[in-house]
Structure formats: structure tokens, C-alpha cells
Structure 1
């Protein structure tokens, strides 16, 4: 059982080492991305430094644990106790120590710098900035985004430290570097921003084209609606005529019944007429005449209606019958809204009462007709049906444009009129909110856009660049107003190589630990001398067997007497492979800028 515990720990520790190595590789990739950028932010640099300090603390704990397991008190301890000791040591000793030691080391290096050295650091940062932007080329080459390029860019500033030739060239050509950077960034920025600006007007043009397509469909729908109304009008008119003809038949039938009922009263009429005529002669009019006629006809006809019309003024059965028939027609007309009893269908269709009644029924169903319309007017019905269909199409158009543009828009706008719609203008202003230099105008020419938006921005960037990379030497000292700028310039040079070197060192220790812990029973790796020899061989191989493709550039930048020449060479050789693995583990994401 004890033997199993002793053999289990190497695998546990090997797993910890593997995870640590992978985390260090990812950290290294992120560090190179940040340090190789043209303008790494101070906050970003501080954050990644803290992350590196934490990982270095864990790496130190792995190294110390490896040594402790060689001592008798811990050599034969089980994996649970060993893991507990490692965790406590990392959490309460090595990580806090590295979080203190690395910043202290950096601050110590920065505190010792003079104002002149800080000014030189600003120049070296400008040197890296110029190389990153292509304003300065080494051996006629412009660095890109390969792992080797990024590694060289990350180390370029500190590597050039002490190279008086480079420092003097940078100081003497500061304005030229600014100009080249601004021209390069200005050209790319100008093209990019101009394309973005043009996209806004292209969006408006696209929306106008959509509007034109909708307007064409609307016009086609109107024509289609008109074309379909012929049959609908015929059907509507047939229904109207059918109803009117039914009314005509009922009218004729009612006339016959009315005539029959009044003809039955002819004897009563004859008696009352004769009685009334005699009473007139005696100058004592009959009192029953008017009530009787009112009851029969609904009105009281004058006695003259029953006398001969040939001027003889005779009263006989023939004149009474003729007068009675005339009163029948008059009485029926009163009961039928003025429509005569004996009328043809054509006359019935054109009678004002019939026309008015039919029109009221049709209008009640939603159809619009002229006030003098009669049931045989097919043209008016066709026009009405067509108008109703077109109204529906128009209503859909108005509803759609109001929803899209916030108002009813006519289907005949020119592109210029379309641009001036309030909703389109509002969209343009919103799209140009990030470009106040355009003053909401999406139709500036290229020259106008450059003058309004690009040239002032380049002037502003020139001021910012000058402010970022230059300051009077006297103001960079500890008591100067630009002391923080000077200190930050030095940190930008110091932190990347220190963090890379420490990270690579502890990564190698963890990798060696992993190598020997997963092969615990191989005799070759039992001896501490063989382990040391293998570790040394690995360091030598990393430093010498895989020279960087930028070795020539590095030789150009590094002085022969540079104090950290060997370390820089080693980091440049080892870092690209580590960066490649780290980017693969990190999903390939990179910092931009």
C-alpha cells in the first residue's frame, strides 16, 4: 500500500506540472501579443505583470516541492500530504513572495534610472513604435505577425538599450518617424473611414432602391386591382338589377291590387259625386263627399275631375268612371312614393325614387356611387368597384410606409426627396453620431471628408504622439512633472523581457519535472546527475539549436557588450515555439493595436 502511494505522487505532481506549463504557454502568448503591440496600455501591462507574478509563484512552488521531495522527511510521504504541503506553500509563500519580489525588482530597476535614461527609454519605445508601424525598417524588412516577428517586436526596445547609434538616430529623426507613422496610419485610417462613411450613403441608396421596388409593386397592384374589377362590377350590377326587377314586379302587383280595391268603390264614388253635384246646385253642399273621398283615395278630389272635359260640363256615368280611374292613378302614386301604377321596367329603373332607394342600399354596403346614379349605370358601378379595390391597395401602401418611415410617403419620390425624409435623415444622423466632423452630412466628397475628418485627426494624433514619446529631460526625473511618463517608459522596456525570461525559466523547470515524474521507473532518470545533464542539454538546445530567423536583426540592434545579450538570444530562440503553442491553446485570439 505504501509503495502504491509513493508511486502515485509522481503522476499527481506530473499532472500539476503539465497544467502549469500549458498555463505558462498561454500567458507567454498573451504577453508577446501585448508587448509587441505599438502602444501597450499601462493598465494592460500592470494586469499581465500581476498574472505573470502569480504563475511564477506557482512555478517556484513546483521547483521547491521537487527539492523537498528529495529530502528524507518528505521523500516517502503519500500524495495527499504532499499535495497539501504544495498547496500551502504556493498559497502562503511562493505566490505572495513572487508578487512582492517581481514588482520590487522592477521598481528597483526603475528607481535607479536617471532622467536621461528615462528620456532614452522614451526614445527606445518610439523606436519600437516606428518599427511596428513600418516607419523604421531593419535590414529593409517590415515586421508582420509571425511568432518570430512578434517576439522581436516585444523585445526590440530593451534590446536596443545602450545602442547609442540607434538612440541618436531616433532622437534626430523623431519628426520623420511621426510623419511616416501618421502617413501610414492616415492612409489606412482614411481609406477605412471613407469606406465606412460611404457605406452610410450606400445604405440610404439601398433603402431607396427597396422603396422604388415597393412603389413599383404598389403601381402594379393598382393596375391589377383595376383589371380585376370588370367581373366584380358585372356581378355587383347583376345583383342590383335582380333586386330592382324584383321590386318592379312587386310594384306592378301592388298596382293591380290597388286598382281592384278602388274599382270596387266605383259605385260609392258615383253616388257621392252625383249627390255633391246636386247639392251644389241647391247651394247646400253635401257634407259626406269629403269624408268619403278621403277614405277611398286618401285625398279629396275637386268635383271638376268628374265632369266632362270637352267643355260641356256634363256629368254622367262615363265622366264619373273616367275621373275615378284618374284618381286611382293619383292615389296609387301617393302610396308608392310617386311611382306611377302603369310604368315600364326601363322607366322604373330611371325613376328618381327607385334610383334613390337602390343607391342607398348599395352605398350601405360600402360602395361609393354618384348622387344621380340609377341601377342601369354599369360604368359608375365599375368605377366604384375599381376605386374601392384601389383604396384597399392604397391603404396597405400607407400603412406600410407609415410603419417604415413614420409617415405616409407618396410612391413617386426622387432619391433626393427620399433622402430628405425625416426618418431617413434621423437614421443618417444616428449613423454619423460617431463622426461629428461630418455634421450629419452623408454626401461629402472625398476631398471634403478628408479635410473635415482626416486632416484634423492626424493633427491631433501628431500632438498625442509627441506627448507620448517626448518630454524635456529635466521633467522626467523623480521631481519632474513627467516623472510618471518616464517611469512608465522604463517599465514598458523592462517588464516584457523580465516576465518572458522568468516565465520561460519556470516553464522549463516544470517541463523537466513533468518529464522525469511521468517516467519514474526508468533507470536513466533515477540519477540526479543524469537529470541535471538532461536539463542543461535542453537549455543549450533551446538557446543554440533553434536560432531565430531574425538573428541578423537582433545582432544589428544588440551591442556586443550588452549585459543581457545571452538572455535575449535565448528568449528570442525559445519564445516563438512557446508562443505558437500558447496561441493554439488560447483559441488563436490576439490583441489588436
Structure 2
């Protein structure tokens, strides 16, 4: 048979040696973890993902090594073969292992098997915690972490599970075993639990310091309201002064515009009046009246054209006349002088005018015109259209001369309200600057709103909802903080726990209630109806997990250990093959020199050679399988193990139960593992101590767990039906509080709460509030059936 090229043989030797390290680490971690009791779900997931990953690598290497040399004729062909084999084999092994175990062992299990597996796991954990003694068992709890003890405890659950009569035998001891186990484990973990609790105090006191600093900032913000009001008022004064300066600039600009128009149109208006006067002088006779009117009409038309160019439309010519009052004495003097000069004719005409309803020659006003630019500037400034244009641009009328008038103007008030509203100050629509008290209240409201917003933002970052100014006692007893403590402490949490209890109080108020609670939970689970362990029951998942913890470790440990031993044994053979030459091909025909004359002798020689060849092949086959046979048979005979030495020991009793169950191979595998595993367990621990491969695998395990499709593959119709049936069960919720007429809300659903409300079993965010009491808010798990919660609200202060 043709051998692989030497460089491929070297590579496979190196890969096999490298594979030993992670496989030995998995084997040691499996023994150490399960041997100390039922592991936590996250620990078991890490171990499971790591083991499946390493198994995929191991099977890939095994198949790659078994492939004939044809696949490795060239380097390129070998790399392609190895890559393709990895892409096919590793996912198949990684996902297939769990699928087969779940499909063939866990999911088809009955409720009885799950319940008994729970009892078996509990008995193993009790033995690991030294909470129970088994007569005749050579178990030394002082050597709890010895390889021999850990191996025994890791396999003990599976061995007890094989004895289906054990549940009946342990029935009367069940309560005592569980109580001793829970108490023993709790007290064994007391120092660690109290140390974790002390760490909680450090964390919580640090959070309270930050909380107190935030409260102080909040209080200081409210105390600074008068100062803040002064700052805002100063901004008001600055806005007014700035507006007044802008208004004055606008007035100067308006005057400049009027000045420009006066310079341009004043002379033209003056020329118009001059021309009209000349028309009147030239055509002053009554017979020339028509020509006088024509002359004035032409001048009016030209005036209209010119004055409209100023941008304010048509302006009556009389607007530009200077109006003066005529006194009575002046009228009398004029009448006398006229009468004298005309020989009484002027006086007679005055009398006639008065008799016919005229003014009798007496005038109240006198009209005249001028060429003064200042006059025309003021007249332009007084134009309504010109002032309207100014008011449209500034919002103010032209001509405000005092700051006090500007200050109280309505447009000033409107602008101030807009500016202050932009700064967050909410003022009434009719607020005036004289209303200082309303301004103070608006500032106070703004400051409090800002402080509240900052406080709520700080609380949101910490995931809390706390009021201001709680003392240390109120802080740690607040429902939001208690929820955080509950999340931090897990099962150890008790209602209204305080973070500053000493050891005595911690033992009294935390440890002892938890011992009682856990004991009752265990007993309730083991005593409850068997149907609760069936699919859809409340203990179904717990029963499956217990089943995994008692049947998977023996299987995984035995297979892992066997692969390790086989790899260790085969490595020297592989190394030896590196130095052996490839067998030469025999010639197809012998030398024909030995022909017919020696035919009979040759036939006899060939027959003898064939017999010798068959013997050699048989010897080689025997030699090839001899390490495997020795590996399987010698450890139970040569390796010492105190648990199996006595034929009447409990361990041999349980192994006998496994044989009686019809699985003698499994019984021998367990016995073989008990002898071999303690020898290799320290090797895996040493590898991990120096490489930290298992610890550093945690991020990869978490990622692979997210990508694990096994759960989707296991979801078939019966599981979905069980889940749907469970979801259809209803819960009737009643909540009682220690106050009258509390407000009760369930925050994560839409319907309003009512006593006896029908709910789907699940988790609900319940809030209870009442005047004078701290608001209670916490998540509760509501199970099917009639459920009643009793909540005690804490008084404020």
C-alpha cells in the first residue's frame, strides 16, 4: 500500500499532538465542572460548545488521516482535500452531536425519567457538598477536588440514574437529603456570598455618592433661582438697550431719507407754487379766468408727475403750504385800511359778503409756501405713508424720543416675550415688563425644569427612576434600587435587603431565608405531580437539564478519554512510520530462468511463501490491534481505584444496576473510566494552566452559541404544540396593597388593570403608587391559575 508523502505524515503527527492539548483540557474541565455538582447554564453552555468544537476538529483529523495517499499526491491536492473535508465534517460533528443527543435521549424522555434524573442530580450534588453519607462508600470530602473524587462524582449521577428503584428507596430520606444539601452548600459558600455582598455594598455606596452629588447639584440649582433671575433680567435690560439703539439708528436713517427727498423735491414744489402765483398775476382779470385755470391745470399735471416719483403716491399741493393763524385785530386793521384806500368800497363789499353768507372778508388762516429744505424734510417725515413704511420696517412708530416710552411700548413687550420664550421662559401672552413677579416665577419654573431634565437624564443612564434627596436608608430601600440589587444578587435576593448588614444580619435575613426557600423549591419540584415534568409542564426544562447533567457526562467523558488514549498510543506508531521506507513494489513476473524444469519446486515454494505471508499479515493485524485491546482490558486490572476495590461497595452496586438494565458495555465503560480518568485529569489541568485555551475560548463560545442552529432543528410540531398549549393557559391576577385605593398599572401591556384580570402567563412590569408613598415598580412572573400578589408600599420620608 502506497504511503503519504513524508511532509504530510509529519504534518499529521504534529496536528495529532496539537489536538491532544484542547481535548485533554476539555476532558479535565468536564470532570472538574460536573464533579462539583450541577453546573450553571452558562458554564454548561461554554463547556458544551467547546467540547463540540474540539470534537469536530478531532473527527476531521481522524478522517483526513484515514484517507488514502491518492488524495495527498501533491501539496495543492492535499490542501484542497483537507479544506473540503473540514467544511463538511466540522459542521456535521458540531451540530450533529447535540442534535442526536437531544433527538435520541433528551426529547423522547418521559416525565418519570426527567423527575428521576432530577433526584439523581440532587443526590450527586448533595454528595458533592458532603450533605449526605452513603454507607460503605469510600468518599473523602476532604479530598473534594482530587481527580479520583471528581471522576467519581461526575459519573455518580449516571450510575444512580440506572437504578430505577432508587426513588422509592430514597423517598423517606428525600426531605432530609435536600435540606442538608441546601444548608451545607449555602454555608460552604457563605464566605464567598458575603464577599460578593460586600462588593455590592461598595458598588451601591459609590452609586449613592453619585446620587447624593446629583441631589446636591439639583438643590443648588433651585437655591440659585434668585441669582438666575437676576441674570435673566440683565439679559432683558440688554435686549431693551440694544433695541433702543437700533431704533435710534432707524430714526436717523429715516431722517436722512426725508432729507434726501427734501433736497430733491423741495425746489420743484417751490417752483410749482411760484409758477401758480405767476399764472394768477398774469391772468388776474375776470375775463382771463379760463386762461388762468388752464395755466394752473398744466402746472398741476406736471406737479403730479414729479411728486409721485417720491414713492408715496399723489400728495395734495396744499400739504406743502405753511398755515398761519390770522388774529381778529389783524382782520379789523386790514378792513379799515382797505376801506380808506378804496373810499369805502372795500368795506361795502365786506358787508355785502357777510349779508350773503360769506366770511365778510375776515380770514382765520393764512397760507404761504417756502423754499426751506428743513420745512420739506419735516413734511416728508410727517407723511402717513412715510411713517407707515418706517413702522413696517421697525415695528415702532416714528418719533419715540425717550427710552422710557420705548421700554413700555407694546412691540417691545412682544419682542421680549419672543426672546424669553426662545430661552425657555414661559410667560403669559399679555406679560408686561413691569410684571417682575411673573418673570421671577417663569425663571423659577425654567430652572426647575432644567434641573428635572438633567436629573432624569442622569437616572436614565443608570437605568433608575429615583426621586430627589433620598437618604442612604431610603435610597437602598427604594423599589428601583431594590430591583437592581435583585438583578445583582440573583437567587440570594430577599425583599428590602440592605447593603450594609453585618455578617450576623446577612446570615439571619439573607442566608437562612434562602436556605428555606431553596429547600422548599427543591421539595416542591420533587414532590410535585409527575406530569409537571412532561413537555409544557413547569418543570419540563429543569428535568431535561437534569437529564443532560446525569447522562451526558459519562458518555462525553468516556469517549473523550478513549480518544485521548488512542491518540497517545498511536503517536509513537506514527512517529515510527516517519522513519520507515515505503515498501517496494514486487516485480510482476519472476525471472524466466527458473522455468519449466523447476515448476514443481516453484509451486511448492510459492505455496509456502503464501502461507508465510498470511501468517505475517495476521501477526501484523494482531500487533496493530494489540494496543487497543490492552488499552481496553488492562486499566481496570492494573490501576488502583478505591471506589471499585470492594465488590460489595455502593459503586459496584450501581454498576451492577447498569448491567441489569441490559447495557453491560456501558457498565464496563463506566468502570474503565473510573480507573483511567484520574490518571489523565491532571494532564488537562496542567495544559489549561499554562495555555488558558478554555478560558480564552469564552468569546468564541458565546458567538458560536448565537449561531447554533440546533435549536431550530429541534423545533418540530409536538414542541410547538406544547408551547402553544402552555401559552393558552390563563392567569387570574389579583394585587393587594397596604394602602387604600392605590393606582395599579401593568406597564408592558395596553389594557388597564382590574382585580382578577385575565393574563397570559409571563413576565409583567407592575407599578403601584399612592399619595404619600414611594412608587413601587418591579417585574413579576405570573404563572397560570389564580395568582395573588401582596405589595407593601413604603411611606415617604
What TM-score range do you get, normalising by the shorter chain?
A: 0.5 to 0.7
**In structure 1, how many angstroms separate the alpha carbons of the residues matched to 2:530 and 2:501?**
48
Offset of 1:511 from its aligned partner? 2.9
Give the conservation status (yes or no) of the 8 Å contact 2:531–2:537: yes
Please list, as runs of the form range in 1=range in 2, the aligned pairs for 1:443-522 lying within 5 A after superposition: 446=504, 449-466=506-523, 471-520=528-577
Offset of 1:179 from its aligned partner? 1.8
Offset of 1:132 from its aligned partner? 1.0
Please list, as runs of the form range in 1=range in 2, the aligned pairs for 1:28-47 lying within 5 A after superposition: 28-47=27-46
**In structure 2, how many angstroms separate the alpha carbons of the residues matched to 1:125 and 1:441?**
34
Structure 1, residues 374-412: CA drift from partner, whole Å, max 9, x if none? xxxxxxxxxxxxxxxxxxxxxxxxxxxxxxxxxxxxxxx
Give the conservation status (yes or no) of the 8 Å contact 1:35–1:154: yes
Offset of 1:23 from its aligned partner? 1.1
Please list, as runs of the form range in 1=range in 2, the aligned pairs for 1:136-155 lying within 5 A after superposition: 136-138=132-134, 139=137, 141-143=139-141, 144-155=144-155
Structure 1, residues 491-511: CA drift from partner, whole Å, max 9, x if none? 122221222222223333433
Structure 1, residues 338-388: CA drift from partner, whole Å, max 9, x if none? xxxxxxxxxxxxxxxxxxxxxxxxxxxxxxxxxxxxxxxxxxxxxxxxxxx
Offset of 1:521 from its aligned partner? 5.2
Match of 1:582, SS state, is helix
Offset of 1:129 from its aligned partner? 1.3
Q: Corresponding residue for 1:271?
A: none
Q: Corresponding residue for 2:81?
A: 85
**In structure 2, how many angstroms separate the alpha carbons of the residues matched to 1:426 and 1:161?**
51
Q: Corresponding residue for 1:109?
A: 105
Please list, as runs of the form range in 1=range in 2, the aligned pairs for 1:121-132 lying within 5 A after superposition: 121-132=117-128
- Structure 2 stretches of 5 or more lacking a match? 202-469, 584-619, 696-797
Q: Corresponding residue for 2:59?
A: 60
Question: Quick one: higher RCO (CA 8 Å, sep 6+), 1 or 2?
Answer: 1
**In structure 1, how many angstroms separate the alpha carbons of the residues matched to 2:145 and 2:531?**
37
Please list, as runs of the form range in 1=range in 2, the aligned pairs for 1:192-231 lying within 5 A after superposition: none
Offset of 1:61 from its aligned partner? 2.3
Please list, as runs of the form range in 1=range in 2, the aligned pairs for 1:296-445 lying within 5 A after superposition: none
Q: Corresponding residue for 1:369?
A: none
- Structure 1 residues 89 and 481: alpha-carbon distance in aligned structure 2, compared to 1, 3 A threshold: same
Q: Corresponding residue for 1:73?
A: 70
Offset of 1:175 from its aligned partner? 0.9
- Structure 1 residues 468 and 134: alpha-carbon distance in aligned structure 2, compared to 1, 3 A threshold: farther
What is the RMSD computed on CA atoms of the aligned residues? 4.1
Give 1:565's match in structure 2, choosing from 667, 684, 687: 667
- Structure 1 residues 156 and 531: alpha-carbon distance in aligned structure 2, compared to 1, 3 A threshold: same
Structure 1, residues 463-484: CA drift from partner, whole Å, max 9, x if none? 3433565542122223534322
**In structure 1, how many angstroms separate the alpha carbons of the residues matched to 2:155 and 2:623?**
34
**In structure 2, how many angstroms separate the alpha carbons of the residues matched to 1:551 and 1:126?**
23
Q: Corresponding residue for 2:410?
A: none
Q: Corresponding residue for 2:630?
A: 537
**In structure 2, how many angstroms separate the alpha carbons of the residues matched to 1:549 and 1:474?**
40
**In structure 2, how many angstroms separate the alpha carbons of the residues matched to 1:40 and 1:171?**
25
**In structure 1, how many angstroms separate the alpha carbons of the residues matched to 2:474 and 2:192?**
23
- Structure 1 residues 467 and 103: alpha-carbon distance in aligned structure 2, compared to 1, 3 A threshold: farther
- Structure 1 residues 177 and 19: alpha-carbon distance in aligned structure 2, compared to 1, 3 A threshold: same
Q: Corresponding residue for 1:18?
A: 17
**In structure 1, how many angstroms separate the alpha carbons of the residues matched to 2:34 and 2:511?**
28
Offset of 1:17 from its aligned partner? 0.3
Offset of 1:196 from its aligned partner? 8.5
Structure 1, residues 319-349: CA drift from partner, whole Å, max 9, x if none? xxxxxxxxxxxxxxxxxxxxxxxxxxxxxxx
Q: Corresponding residue for 1:381?
A: none
Q: Corresponding residue for 1:551?
A: 644
Q: Corresponding residue for 1:161?
A: 161
**In structure 2, how many angstroms separate the alpha carbons of the residues matched to 1:51 and 1:488?**
18
Offset of 1:486 from its aligned partner? 2.2
**In structure 1, how many angstroms separate the alpha carbons of the residues matched to 2:582 and 2:558?**
27
Structure 1, residues 167-190: CA drift from partner, whole Å, max 9, x if none? 333333221012212332344455
Q: Corresponding residue for 1:585?
A: 687
**In structure 2, how many angstroms separate the alpha carbons of the residues matched to 1:86 and 1:423?**
67
**In structure 2, how many angstroms separate the alpha carbons of the residues matched to 1:580 and 1:116?**
37
Give the conservation status (yes or no) of the 8 Å contact 1:438–1:453: no
**In structure 1, how many angstroms separate the alpha carbons of the residues matched to 2:166 and 2:35?**
19
**In structure 2, how many angstroms separate the alpha carbons of the residues matched to 1:41 and 1:198?**
23
Structure 1, residues 208-253: CA drift from partner, whole Å, max 9, x if none? xxxxxxxxxxxxxxxxxxxxxxxxxxxxxxxxxxxxxxxxxxxxxx
- Structure 1 stretches of 5 or more lacking a match? 202-421
Looking at secondary structure, tell me which structure has more helix per residue. Answer: 1
Give the conservation status (yes or no) of the 8 Å contact 2:38–2:125: yes
Q: Corresponding residue for 2:677?
A: 575
**In structure 2, how many angstroms separate the alpha carbons of the residues matched to 1:493 and 1:522?**
46
Offset of 1:26 from its aligned partner? 0.5
- TM-score under structure 2 length normalisation: 0.41
**In structure 2, how many angstroms separate the alpha carbons of the residues matched to 1:150 and 1:179?**
23
**In structure 1, how many angstroms separate the alpha carbons of the residues matched to 2:537 and 2:473?**
51
Offset of 1:130 from its aligned partner? 1.1
Q: Corresponding residue for 1:50?
A: 49
